[in-house]
């Protein structure tokens, strides 16, 4: 019989889902701290990581906020994954222990069919060669996102032949672009189906 395991990757969670999930994890791990005394990321470190991310996402808008939110969430996700992997080994499928962690249980992937198109929003930053992006959320679990891009002058219309950028979160920054040169970009949600639906093309240049 397959052992129960914790889900340790929350990349597909919306901000609200992510916030609720990490607050529950923090609450239950603190409550059951004596059962998990050797966590690789202590609660004294985990708590401030939550605060840093939450402060960045709820602050009044400022230039570079998207990058700060993405960096804080990445650091928090890394801690969640590291602790979650340790907990999976420690709990060894014992449901009583797994339920004390606050982590959701991992579920087997379910065929999703063709996903809806995303909406891609781009913002020019003051940093040369950088463009900030935001990809709309597609409902479902286990969904990843990507951006395909190329020079606006490129006549190639097959998006799969453009440069592939894996979006670890739905918002972030693409760096290393040529300054003051127009790029065309599309976003796409990646699920269990190979039949992909791309967003509308967006054209923008970096400073």
Task: Round the average pLDDT of the chain to a whole number and report it.
Answer: 91
Query: In angstroms, rounded to a whole number, what is the distance separating the alpha carbons of residues 123 and 133?
Result: 6
Contact (CB, 8 A) for 177 and 202: no
> CA-CA distance, 59 to 18, in Å (whole number)?
17
Q: What is the distance between the alpha carbons of residues 32 and 198, in angstroms, rounded to a whole number?
A: 45
Say whether pTM exceeds 0.85: no
- Whether 81 and 36 share a structural domain: yes
Cβ contact 148:163 at 8 Å: yes
Q: Is residue 115 part of a domain?
A: no
pLDDT tens per residue, range 95-112: 999 999 999 998 765 566
Query: Which CATH number fits the domain that encloses residue 150?
Result: 2.60.40.10
Give me the phi and psi of 7, to 5 degrees please. -80, 125
Please identify, among 65, 98, 131, the residue that sits at the C-terminal boundary of a domain.
98
Q: Indicate the pLDDT class of residue 162, thresholds 50, 70 and 90.
A: very high
Model pLDDT, residue 110 = 57
Shared domain check, 155 and 94: no
- The pLDDT confidence band at residue 2, using thresholds 50, 70 and 90, is confident
Q: 144: pLDDT confidence band, cut at 50, 70 and 90? A: confident
Number of domains forming the structure of the chain? 2
CA distance 174 to 189: 17
pLDDT-based confidence at 56, cuts 50/70/90? very high
- Asked whether residue 192 is domain-assigned, the answer is yes
Whole-angstrom CA distances from 50 to 17, 87, 89 are 14, 19, 24
Q: What percent of the chain has pLDDT over 70?
A: 96
Q: Are residues 33 and 91 in the same domain?
A: yes
33 has pLDDT over 80: yes
Q: Which of residues 98, 131, 148 is at a domain's end?
A: 98
Which domain does 56 fall in, by range?
A: 15-98
């Amino acid at each position: 019989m397959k052992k129960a395991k914790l889900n340790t990757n929350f990349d597909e969670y919306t901000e609200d889902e992510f916030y609720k999930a990490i607050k529950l994890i923090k609450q239950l791990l603190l409550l059951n701290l004596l059962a998990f005394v050797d966590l690789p990321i202590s609660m004294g470190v985990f708590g401030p990581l939550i605060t840093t991310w939450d402060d960045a996402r709820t602050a009044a808008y400022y230039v570079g906020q998207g990058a700060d939110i993405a960096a804080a969430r990445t650091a928090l996700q890394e801690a969640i994954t590291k602790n979650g992997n340790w907990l999976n080994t420690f709990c060894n499928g014992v449901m009583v222990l797994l339920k004390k962690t606050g982590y959701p249980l991992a579920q087997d992937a379910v065929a999703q069919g063709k996903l809806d198109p995303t909406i891609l929003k781009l913002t020019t930053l003051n940093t040369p060669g950088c463009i900030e992006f935001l990809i709309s959320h597609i409902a479902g679990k286990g969904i990843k996102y990507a951006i395909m891009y190329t020079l606006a002058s490129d006549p190639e219309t097959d998006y799969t032949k453009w440069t592939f950028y894996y979006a670890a979160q739905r918002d972030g920054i693409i760096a290393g672009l040529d300054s003051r040169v127009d790029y065309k970009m599309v976003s796409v949600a990646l699920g269990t189906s190979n039949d992909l639906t791309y967003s509308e093309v967006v054209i923008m240049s970096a400073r």
